[in-house]
Amino acid sequence: MAGIDDILKALPIDQIAAKLGVDPDTAKAAVEQGGDAILTGLQRNAETPEGSAAIEAALSRHAADGPVDIDSIDTADGEKILGHVFGGDEQQVAQRLTDSPQTAGIDFGTLLPALAPLVMGLLAKKQGSQAPAGAGSSGGIGDVIGGLLGGGGSSQSGGGVDLGGLLGGLFGGKN
């Protein structure tokens, strides 16, 4: 399975749950919602040549392997990533996710900046495992992100936030 499942496998959910003060299932749901929001925002950005080029340039700074240490994540970098991904609307995205009944009480204003570098690292890793860019590739990074979003089917956690509608409204709405 790809996408959010890959993010979940790479993260110490118990450590995240302890930091957030919630049970592991709630932390997992929050990571799923937050990861979906970031990937959806990245996919929208990848729809333009400028956005795609910016994402590809950023990925070179986020390639990493090995276990994730939640305490060493650069959340300041995460804030910058979110600013680019959500075009200045990151606080509204975080608030909408925080207000979701499925993850009520999770402070996405804190969680998203920690997740953003992890998502970028996953994308960098996935991009590195793809065929070389340019040689017959139609969508480049957009294809990689699309594969992560649509690649497992289990990232739909039933109910929750309508991320497409939320992000569509924030970005001027392609319906």
What are the sequence ranges of the domains in the chain?
4-170
Segment 44-53 mean pLDDT: 86
**146 vs 74: CA distance, rounded Å:** 26
pLDDT at 136: 38
pLDDT at 3: 66
Report yes or no: 58 and 142 within 8 Å, Cβ to Cβ: no
Segment 140-165 mean pLDDT: 51
**2 vs 19: CA distance, rounded Å:** 26
**42 vs 40: CA distance, rounded Å:** 5
Helices within 22-152 (DSSP H only): 24-46, 49-59, 75-86, 90-98, 108-129, 141-150
**136 vs 149: CA distance, rounded Å:** 22
pLDDT at 5: 79
**13 vs 26: CA distance, rounded Å:** 10
**56 vs 68: CA distance, rounded Å:** 22
Is residue 99 predicted with pLDDT exceeding 90? no
Q: Quick one: pLDDT band at residue 161, thresholds 50, 70, 90?
A: very low
% of the chain surpassing 70 pLDDT:
67
Q: Give the HSE-up count for residue 11: Cα atoms under 13 Å, Cβ half-sphere.
A: 33
Report yes or no: 143 and 58 within 8 Å, Cβ to Cβ: no
Q: Quick one: pLDDT band at residue 129, thresholds 50, 70, 90?
A: low
Q: Quick one: pLDDT band at residue 7, thresholds 50, 70, 90?
A: confident
pLDDT at 60: 77
Q: Look at the pTM and tell me if it is higher than 0.85.
A: no
Query: What are the helix and strand counts (H, E) for the chain?
Result: 9, 0
Is residue 41 predicted with pLDDT exceeding 50? yes
